[in-house]
């Protein structure tokens, strides 16, 4: 294994098809998780397709690299070891044209995932001989949902256009009366070719695209991208720049948690909660606009550092805001906690047990609400979180109430971190220039965004361009968990349960 420099502890290891399975089995047995799985067309480099699996082990990230000889279109299936691999493998087949095959030779799920009808089944748009501008006449979109049969069972199809201001996706409920027997998700509606678009961009400019993979997590993605790029460059930003990035990331976390707490109150029948929390969120966004020049902090993290700085006046504004916010959040939490009607909706609703969460490889706040101790800020604690020492917020019950409580505690913890950052900000350059990056370099970024861990895998091409970039959203791991959390609940509780996870469609559709 070759260690890689940079912010995230990472190693890469070239494997053959046998050790691809062997290493994955050993890692799974040792408690490792699957972080991401993707493939690249390397025929121009004298091979076939290279499939990569990013394993999250105790020591850090281990990237297994399997180069398939030209003409080989199958690779060993990992979905029996890591169930979250299933959809990633289907996406790989849609985009690059290599299929995961289990030991007995039978292919895993053969249905498309990101491919609906926009391109033919024998075209693989991420291959390098397919131009970005290629357009095919729309085909027929047929998708074989798993049928549920029995006395009184019927189906409710929902989406892709939903009844609120949310993203598009399809949910197929099989119900008896109002109780859900099965939910099957179908995603991919927002697929717009982000990975292909990356390959037309320069390494430094492409951070803007990384910041638009999932707009609600723009800081997390931009930081993960910058971390991958800085790893390849062998550069570490100044302590000041890293602390400012953490400041932006925590403000992104607070803004999203405030928004979700409002909507969760609303979906639980307490419109007061939405009015109150959306006001607090708006205050925070306005401070962002005033201090950092953008309400959602897009394009503030840049390669080599940050595009912003804070002076004493801005520090005073944010410290005063933190005190005010903490007081208001504590008041509203007391109201939520005391509200019998709201707690009746929250408690025991949409339960995801620790066992199921671990089996599915769930990450982020949903994992912590089910009792799993996963938070990249705490472990491995990349800089500057090693000095900020955040407290991990967990709950055991895995229901909507647990996900609400984790949000409350994380918002308060982020305010603490914000104060710590503002009080200890050392002097230093906000940005350092990056040297020229060697062709073929590989780098990883690993950031705990508000929803969960965001990975970016980046490969350099000739002349400072992106050869391949794979941004990975925590929603890949967490969407399947929603299918489990809804089981046995009633259809009218679905919006509440869905909101309690609040997963990204854009981030997984790419």
Partner 1 sequence: MHKLLRQIARVGISTEAAPLPDEALRQITGRLNDEVLRLLGRALAIRHVDAGSCNGCELEIQGISNPYYNIEGLGIRFVASPRHADMLLVTGPVSRNMQEALRRTYDAVPEPKLVVAIGDCGCTGGIFGEGYASCGRIANVIPVDVAVPGCPPPPAAIMQGILTAVQRKS
Residue ranges in contact with partner 1 by CB under 8 A: 116-119, 125, 130-136, 138, 141, 160-161, 163-168, 188-194, 196-197, 208-209, 212-216, 218, 259, 272, 275-276, 278-279, 281-282, 285, 289, 295-296, 298, 331-332, 334-335, 338-339, 504-506, 509
Cβ contact 458:229 at 8 Å: yes
Return all residues near 29 (Cβ < 8 A) that are at least 6 apart. none
Considering beta carbons, is residue 332 or 360 the nearer one to partner 1? 332
Q: Do 368 and 423 form a contact (C-beta atoms < 8 A)? A: no
Pick the closest to residue 196 from 260, 255, 119 (CA basis). Answer: 119
| Smallest gap from residue 251 Cβ to partner 1 (A) | 14
Least distance CB 254 / partner 1 (angstroms): 14
CA–CA dist 507, 510 (Å, integer): 6
**Cβ nearer to partner 1, comparing 65 with 326:** 326
Measure the CA–CA gap between 274 and 165, rounded to whole angstroms.
Answer: 14
What is the smallest separation between the CB atom of 119 and partner 1, expressed in angstroms? 6
Residue closer to partner 1 by CB (options 43, 197) is 197
**Shortest distance, position 132 Cβ to partner 1, whole Å:** 4
User: Cβ closer to partner 1: 176 or 289?
Assistant: 289
Q: Which residue number, 23 or 308, has a Cβ lying nearer to partner 1?
A: 308
Q: Which is nearer to partner 1, 51 or 118 (CB)?
A: 118
Instruction: Quote the longest CA-to-CA distance of the chain.
Output: 70
Q: Least CB distance from residue 420 to partner 1, whole Å?
A: 27
Q: Between 369 and 506, whose beta carbon lies closer to partner 1?
A: 506
Rounded to the nearest whole angstrom, what is the least distance from the CB of residue 162 to partner 1 in the complex? 8
- Report the residue number, 20 or 189, with the smaller CB distance to partner 1: 189
Give min distance, CB of 180 to partner 1, in A: 20
Entry field: residues in the chain: 510
Virtual CA dihedral for 380, 386, 389, 394, nearest 10 degrees?
-10
4 phi-psi bin (left φ>0, alpha ψ -120 to 50, beta other): beta
Name the minimum Å distance from CB 331 to partner 1.
Answer: 6
Judged on CB neighbours under 10 Å (0-12, 13-18, 19+), 334 is exposed
Which among 176, 232, 230, 224 is positioned nearest to 489, based on CA atoms?
176
**Shortest Å distance, C-beta 167 to partner 1:** 5
Residue 456 CB, nearest distance to partner 1 (Å)?
Answer: 15
What phi and psi, each to the nearest 5 degrees, are found at residue 212? Answer: -125, 20
Cα separation, 243 vs 239, in Å, equals 6
Q: Determine whether 138 is exposed, middle or buried from the number of CB atoms within 10 Å of its CB (0-12, 13-18, 19+).
A: exposed
Judged by beta carbon, residue 284 or residue 458, the one nearer partner 1 is: 284
Closest CB to partner 1 among residues 395, 470: 470
Asked whether the bond before 160 is cis by omega within 30 degrees of 0, the reply is yes
E strands, 252-361, where? Answer: 301-302, 305-306
What CA dihedral angle connects 220, 222, 225 and 226, to 10 degrees? -110
Distances (CA, A) of 28 to 16, 76, 292, 391: 18, 15, 43, 27
Give me the least distance between CB of 138 and partner 1, in Å please: 7
Nearer to partner 1, 166 or 314 (CB): 166
- CA dihedral of residues 13, 14, 17, 19 (deg, nearest 10): -40
Please tell me the number of Cα atoms within 13 Å of 503 on its side-chain side.
28
What is the token pair recorded at 302? 């840049």
We find the least distance from the C-beta atom of residue 443 to partner 1, in angstroms, to be: 22
Nearer to partner 1, 25 or 283 (CB): 283
């Amino acid at each position: 294994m070759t260690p890689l420099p940079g912010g995230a502890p990472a190693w890469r290891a070239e494997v053959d098809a046998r050790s691809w399975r062997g290493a994955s089995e050993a890692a799974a047995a040792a408690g490792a998780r699957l972080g991401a799985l993707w493939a690249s067309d390397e025929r121009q480099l004298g091979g076939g397709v290279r499939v990569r699996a990013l394993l999250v082990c105790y020591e850090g990230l281990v990237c297994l690299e399997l180069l398939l000889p030209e003409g080989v279109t199958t690779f060993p299936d990992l979905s029996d070891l890591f169930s979250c691999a299933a959809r990633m493998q289907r996406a790989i087949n849609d985009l690059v044209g290599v299929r995961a095959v289990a030991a007995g030779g039978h292919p895993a799920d053969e249905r498309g995932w990101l491919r609906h009808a926009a391109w033919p089944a024998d075209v693989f748009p991420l291959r390098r001989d397919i131009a970005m501008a290629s357009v095919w006449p729309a085909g027929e979109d047929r998708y074989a949902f798993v049928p549920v049969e029995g006395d009184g069972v019927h189906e409710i199809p929902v989406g892709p256009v939903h009844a609120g201001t949310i993203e598009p996706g399809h949910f197929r409920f099989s119900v008896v009366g109002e109780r859900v027997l099965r939910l099957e998700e179908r995603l991919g509606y927002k697929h717009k070719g982000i990975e292909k678009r990356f390959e037309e961009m320069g390494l430094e400019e492409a951070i803007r695209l990384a910041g638009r993979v999932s707009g609600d997590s723009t800081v997390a993605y931009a930081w993960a991208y910058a971390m991958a790029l800085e790893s390849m460059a062998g550069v570490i930003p100044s302590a000041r720049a890293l602390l400012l990035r953490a400041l932006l990331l925590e403000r992104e976390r607070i803004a999203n948690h405030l928004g979700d707490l409002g909507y969760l109150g609303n979906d639980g029948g307490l419109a007061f909660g939405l009015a109150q929390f959306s006001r607090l969120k708006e205050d925070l966004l306005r401070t962002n606009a005033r201090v950092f020049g953008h309400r959602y902090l897009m394009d503030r993290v840049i390669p080599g550092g940050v595009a912003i700085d804070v002076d004493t006046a801005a520090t005073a504004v944010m410290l005063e805001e933190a005190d005010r916010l903490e007081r208001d959040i504590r008041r509203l939490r007391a109201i939520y906690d005391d509200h019998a009607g709201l707690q009746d909706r929250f408690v025991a609703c949409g339960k995801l047990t620790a066992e199921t969460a671990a089996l599915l490889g769930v990450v982020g706040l949903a994992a912590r609400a089910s009792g799993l101790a996963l938070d990249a800020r705490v472990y491995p604690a990349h800089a500057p979180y090693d000095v900020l020492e955040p407290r991990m917020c967990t709950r055991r019950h895995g229901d909507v109430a647990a996900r609400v409580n984790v949000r409350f505690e994380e918002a308060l913890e982020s305010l603490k971190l914000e104060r710590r950052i503002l009080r200890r900000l050392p002097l230093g350059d906000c940005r350092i220039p990056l040297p020229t990056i060697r062709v073929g370099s590989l780098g990883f970024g690993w950031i705990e965004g508000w929803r969960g861990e965001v990975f970016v895998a980046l490969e350099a091409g000739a002349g400072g361009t992106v050869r391949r970039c794979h941004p990975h959203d925590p929603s890949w791991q967490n969407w399947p968990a929603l299918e489990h959390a809804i089981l046995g609940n009633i259809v009218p509780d679905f919006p509440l349960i869905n909101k309690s996870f609040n997963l990204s469609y854009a981030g997984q559709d790419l």
